[in-house]
Chain A
Amino acid sequence: MATCCSKKTETVVRSGGARRVAALVGNPNVGKSVLFNALTGAYVTVSNYPGTSVEVTRGSALIQGEEWQVVDTPGMYSIHTITEEERVAREILLNEAPDVVLHVLDARNLERMLAMTIQLIEAELPVVLVVNIMDEAERIGLKIDLELLRKRLGIPVIGAATARKRGLEEIRKAVAEYRRESASSQRFNYSRLLENDIGVVAGLMRGEYVLSRRALALLLLQQDEEIIELVRGNEGDGYGAINEKVREIAFQRRESFHLDLSLERKEIVRKLIQDVFSAPEKRVVTWAERFSNLSIKPMTGIPLLCIVLYFGLYKFVGSFGAGTLVDLLETKGFKEHFNPWITGVVQQLIPWQIIQELFVGEYGIITLGIRYAVGIILPIVATFFIFFSFLEDTGYFPRLALLVDRVFKRFGLSGRAVIPMVLGFGCDTMATMVTRTLETVRERVIATLLLALAIPCSAQIGVILALLSKEPGALAVWAFSLVLLFIVVGLLAAKILPGEPPMFYMELPPMRLPQLGNVITKTYTRMQWYFLEILPLFVLASVLLWLGKVTGFFVKMIDAMTPLMASIGLPKEAAVAFIFGFFRRDYGAAGLYDLQTKGLLNARQLTVAAVTLTLFIPCVAQFLIMKKERGWKVAGAIGVFVSLVAFGSGYVLNEFLMVSGVLS
């Protein structure tokens, strides 16, 4: 089996020097990332795979004195790929020809997931099998004979519980000691008919490939487009004959090729795990399962959701993050100590007043930009990300998704969209990026629109809550307006945008108590991204505002916006908040905060301003991401639409509040 591919490592040009590469592959939710974090240090790079929007994490690891590059590939169910994530995972196997492929699977689902191990071995990849989550499997009484499995598969098999640090040493050892010659000599035979088809197609191939011809032949028969392209490119003139043969067989077996193949693999796996895997007669119901059952029944799930939101968002992010921490950092830290001190320092160092103002003036880079970013935004966003990462690791989101699927379908979204929506309450920009996990373009556009319009981000909510807290009525009107617009725009978008209604399917990973270390790593990575993204913007905003002030452009713009402000019943000073708001919505809201403290706004004006600003153009960063993810046309259209709806709603709300006398 290993004969036809002995030269393949030389034929592949490796990126990133001579370091050896280990790739982690496997289904989603099997603990790949935990293993990745355990193998590598804290310094990892997350980057988009070239030409795609899928993120790939890489890091380096010192394994038995040798340096390795470890790649964490996106989750894949099969080597025959369907989603973009799966395609990227396979591209990594194809293009980077890893020295070791660690296939991580969930011990509890050994039978289902071994089907992919078979495929990897069949492709003659250097596979090491990690049977993960052994602890949970033992807890529910499963018995797995790893030694027997190793013999039958002919590859290294390691039992592990990476979340409990179990099996890590064995994995390192297996990686370091892996030799290609020790590759599996095992061959898994299909039915005579299928073997014949594979033989015919594989026999026509002449090129050199990373994957075995046998695996390629099967992928060709499954009409895998990328593989067709690959073979077409490699075979040159010989491709015609292969194509003809593949077509002929594919046509003969058109009725059920995929199904037949799956069933044959299932049969192979069934024989493999005979006497390897045994489950207890009675299903063991764990506490996690009981809790899971509560979370997915509407009767108990909805109250549970309210509890999660109350304690997680309101208490932890709202009161603790936006209250206590902001108070500590912004009021005590910056306003009382840091700002006066740095102002003194700068005034001593720089004699020109204009330049002084650039750093420490009203709109100074340090006194305004850094203060907003570190004093207000940092604590709110950090607490939100801790909350979100914690919830993510418990496995709660898929359960929330199925709970809301029916409601979301009315907005043209599937339940899956609940994850970007919740994340949007933390950072709309990051959430817009996450919309790429949705299946159809239509869903992505609707989700992007709703995020841009009606989901306020945590920083913004924090400031708005502080702003409106003295007027409970105003807060109610604000919240009601947002919910109403979310529903109306969602319903309309689902009606107007062409396309199929989305389908919903999701694996429900077992619920578990998150590991503190993983939550911290996730929060840290998100914070890092967030800061690199926003800090330059805050500095840029400060510079532009300073320029505007120095040149007098600022005053002209405020004058220009006065009629617009007047039409929604606001004083002309409010224009400042909207100009701020163009950079970041929370920046704008913070501007309103200043106006309110000066006593320039009454309750009605405050509410109208808050609603308009919340709906108004997302921050520059979000707009740029929208452009990147959805293209100029869609992003531009959403931008114009959102602006119109924002000011339109402000106008209507103002008229309504004046006529009805609510809030006065």
Chain B
Amino acid sequence: MKLSEKAEEILEALWINVEEEGRAFLDPEKFSIPLDDPAYAELAANAMVEVRQGMVYFRPEGRNEGRMTIRRHRLAERLMMDVLNIRGEAGDYKACQFEHLLNEGVDTKVCTMLNHPSTCPHGKPIPPGDCCTEARALGDLGVVPLTEFKSGQEGEIAYIQTDDSKKMQKLMAMGVLPGNRIVLVQASPSHIFRVGFSEFAIDTNLAKEIFVRK
């Protein structure tokens, strides 16, 4: 079953109203989609919501679907900001369009790539999915900046994230190439890492741009 975009937006609004703001229902009069929109009928037909006296209430299936919809929305926002570097209103707008594509396992992939974020760029919580619970249970750090490693910890370089191509080439010349093993020798006062048999010292700003996995 795939819901229409409008139906998903209603679910999101309802979820925020009920789960985050503590109301019992969504009042369509205070929402951008009027009650006569067919999207409400679509949701009711799928047993997601019910409409009583002009107010929209969750049904149990709908509550879960709402949770996942809001999760996709906030993951999309994170994706816009963290990876694509689209911020502000443009980011919000794009996220609204993008979220509808994040189903059928795409959300899990995006979530893993973003390393299971717990909040959206506006600071609201992202409801955890199965992948997040699993990662937590395994203690899998996923891909993290080198700054998150402890002294002595060893890992593999996943990627370098920098806008500055000179910096990137400098790092690559030092042997910071995806796939190479890296050991963080020391984290303070500067980050010292070892690749092969060479040691290098870099400052925190550069260390933040090297992403490693355990």
Contacts and interface: CB of A to CB of B under 8 A. Distances in A.
B199 to A, nearest CB: 4
Contacts of B4: none
A508 interface: yes
Interface string A252-290: 000000110011001000000000000000000000000
Contacts, number: 101
Contact of A296 (B167, B178, B192, B198): B192
B188 A298 contact: yes
B186 A80 contact: no
B56 interface: no
Interface stretch (A351-359, A364-372, A397-405, A652-660): A397-405
Contact of A398 (B177, B188, B189, B201): B201
Main secondary structure of the interface of B (DSSP, over half): mixed
A151 interface: no
Contacts of B201: 296, 398-399, 401-402, 405, 415, 504-506, 508
B124 interface: no
A503 B206 contact: yes
Given A258-B172, A401-B201, A505-B200, A406 B190 contact: yes
B172 A259 contact: yes
B168 to A, nearest CB: 6
Given A503-B206, A505-B201, A82 B190 contact: no
B177 A266 contact: yes
Given A263-B178, A266-B177, A504-B190, A112 B195 contact: yes
Contact of B172 (A262, A414, A508): A262
A111 interface: yes
Given A405-B203, A409-B203, A505-B206, A112 B198 contact: yes
B202 A508 contact: no
Contact of B196 (A112, A263, A506): A112
B85 interface: no
Contact of A406 (B160, B169, B189): B189
Main secondary structure of the interface of A (DSSP, over half): helix
A142 B205 CA distance: 34
Contacts of A409: 203
Contacts of B189: 298, 402-403, 405-406
Interface in B180-214: 180, 186, 188-190, 192, 195-203, 205-206
B175 A258 contact: no
B170 interface: yes
A109 B202 contact: no
B168 A415 contact: no
A507 interface: yes
Interface string B97-128: 00000000000000000000000000000000
Nearest to A223: B165
Contacts of A112: 175, 195-196, 198
A505 B192 contact: no
Contacts of B203: 405-406, 409, 414-415, 503-505
Interface string A405-421: 11001000011000000
Contacts of B179: 263, 266
B36 to A, nearest CB: 47
B165 A77 contact: no
A82 B166 contact: yes
A415 B174 CA distance: 18
Contacts of B200: 505-508
A140 B194 CA distance: 16
Contacts of A142: 197
A258 B169 contact: yes
Contact of A505 (B168, B174, B180, B196): B174
A415 B189 CA distance: 11
Interface string B157-169: 0001000011111
A442 interface: no
A297 interface: yes
7 contacts: A106-B197, A106-B198, A109-B197, A263-B179, A401-B201, A403-B189, A505-B171
Interface of B: 160, 165-175, 177-180, 186, 188-190, 192, 195-203, 205-206
Which 8 A-B pairs give the minimum distances between C-beta atoms? A77-B173, A402-B201, A108-B197, A402-B190, A504-B203, A508-B199, A112-B175, A505-B202
Interface of A: 77-78, 80, 82, 106, 108-109, 111-112, 140, 142, 258-259, 262-263, 266, 292, 296-298, 398-399, 401-403, 405-406, 409, 414-415, 501, 503-508
